[in-house]
Amino acid sequence: MKRFAVSAVLAITCTGFSQTYTSEQVKVAFDKAMRTGDGKLFFSVLREGERKSVTPQECTAFLKKFVTPWYTGPSLQMGANGKLVRMNDPNCKVMASFTPTGGCRYTITERKLTFETPTLEEGKGSRSTVGFAQTLFAIATAKSNSTKGGRIEQMKYAQSLVESWIPSVVKMGIPGSVDPELNKYQTWAEIIKASRAEVKKYGG
């Protein structure tokens, strides 16, 4: 797996998407980009709609500000000392699997990847379906799981976190993101409007 992972990442970073890449190669590259904060690599596996208004430098800024603290922070796995194991701990077995419909689920497994992305066929190769919005909501949901209260309270807290982060994301030069369920690019205003409606639907 390690040898394959290295070859997959080298292939993508050296040639971009001028060639056809497998879904597995994209999964490996996405995971590495998330863990290392490599914006160039992250940019290379994004779907076309997600890439159109951003640069690799903006991807790096996004990863460093939001994903790195998530990766270096506590997971949902309890250690022998009674404390939560950090996501980047070699002994952590928690894998964050993004879903095609925009969510993120966690599994305890002998993980080969820390962050797993669904893929789609686009152009000459596979691409990740995960974008900026889905990543932000996954991080916010993970943070809300550690708070007291029921599911509705957690949804509202996660929503408030994402809304508080949007101004920083806009300043980075990221104007919106693709809704993976609708396969449609939306501005942050449209994304927030839709997510508020979803929270209201369940929480009133």
pLDDT digits (tens, 9 = 90+) for 80-111: 999 999 999 999 999 999 999 999 999 998 89
Residue 78 tokens read as: 């309890």
pLDDT at 13 over 60: no
153-204 per-position pLDDT tens digit: 889 999 999 999 999 999 999 999 999 888 899 999 999 999 999 888 887 6
Contacts of 8 (CB under 8 A, 6+ apart): 21, 24, 25, 28, 29
> Which pLDDT value is given to residue 92?
95
Amino acid found at 162? V
> Which pLDDT value is given to residue 204?
62
pLDDT at 49 over 80: yes
> Which pLDDT value is given to residue 145?
79
Under the banding of pLDDT at 50, 70 and 90, the label for residue 33 is very high
As a whole number of angstroms, the distance between CA 167 and CA 23 comes to 33
DSSP per residue, 47-92 = -HHHHTT--HHHHHHHIIIIIHHHHHSEEEEEPTTSSEEETTSTT-
As a whole number of angstroms, the distance between CA 3 and CA 49 comes to 31
**Do the beta carbons of residue 92 and residue 85 sit within 8 Å?**
yes
Over residues 5-21, the mean pLDDT reads 50
126-151 per-position pLDDT tens digit: 999 999 999 999 999 998 877 667 88
Short-list 86, 69, 74, 84, CA closest to 34 = 69
In the numeric block, the tokens 């040898």 are attached to 3
